[in-house]
Structure 1
Amino acid sequence: MRNLAQTPFQSLIFGLILALLSIQIQAKEIEAKPMHYNMPSWFKSSFLDILADVDEARSAGKGLLIFFHLENCPFCAHLLKDNFTTGPNKEKIQRNFDVIGIDVKGDLPVVWVDGKTYTEKELAKKLGVFATPALFVLGPQHEVVKKVMGYKKPDEFMALLPFRKQ
């Protein structure tokens, strides 16, 4: 009988297949079909001048969290529901961050921290957003301090966010 992984190439392919199956098993909890959602009413209304938004958040003792989303994305809908609209995660996020939503297919102009203006979709591409939802936390010096891609369960999501010392 032959060994399943005889060559390094076969071992790599076998490993990739196992990894993809593992991801599929974890993702099955959310059905990947279009799902309408609305941004929470407490998200910051912004002119999308990120430098100014970081400074406003800092003066309020908060960080800035940018929520990149895609219309009808079921993973965005679930992340919003599980973390931003109900429960203790909502209060903790609201207390520690100003949150701005940016549509990865949008055409609104956004002034990024480099001073250049991009459309929402250009900015998403520039920042390497390859999945939605994607969240970027900006620090007081206008730097990205954390990047979170994809849906995360509430406990895992909260553990990934950099909260300031209370």
Structure 2
Amino acid sequence: MDLLLWRHAEAVDGSPDHARELTQRGHKQARRMAAWLAENKPKHLRVLVSPTLRTRQTASAFADDFEIVSSLGPDGGVADILAATGWPDASGAALVVGHQPALGRLAALLLSGQEADWTIKKGALWWFTNRVRDDETQTVLRAVIPAELL
């Protein structure tokens, strides 16, 4: 399975939190990452998105067809992402467009074996895959792409 974690692009400050829109820079970040994803995406990719406006706007730069998952909102956690995606046992690939701190905490868990407060920058993508070697499931980090490098 492939698991792609895409933190929403830069959004305006303010409240209510769920209605915050992307800034002009955020739209540019989303378009650049979407172009990269279009060129490099894995086959059979499901796109799962937090219900907030900023995540939906980020995802919309890449796909018209995505699933809004309420548990992926700003208050969601690592267990919510794992449940929504089926990692590591589901087939195909899942792209989660979500929030800190859950995305960073999941990245830490996948790479170090325990949750920690790691930061995924706004607009950045982390791509994981898994494989089985000697009856052991291993996590492989395929890519980390900050939006400003695209």
TM-score, length of structure 1 as denominator length:
0.30
TM-score, length of structure 2 as denominator length:
0.32
User: Rg larger in 1 or in 2?
Assistant: 1
Larger RCO, structures 1/2 (Cα 8 Å, 6+ apart): 2
Name whichever structure is richer in strand by fraction.
2
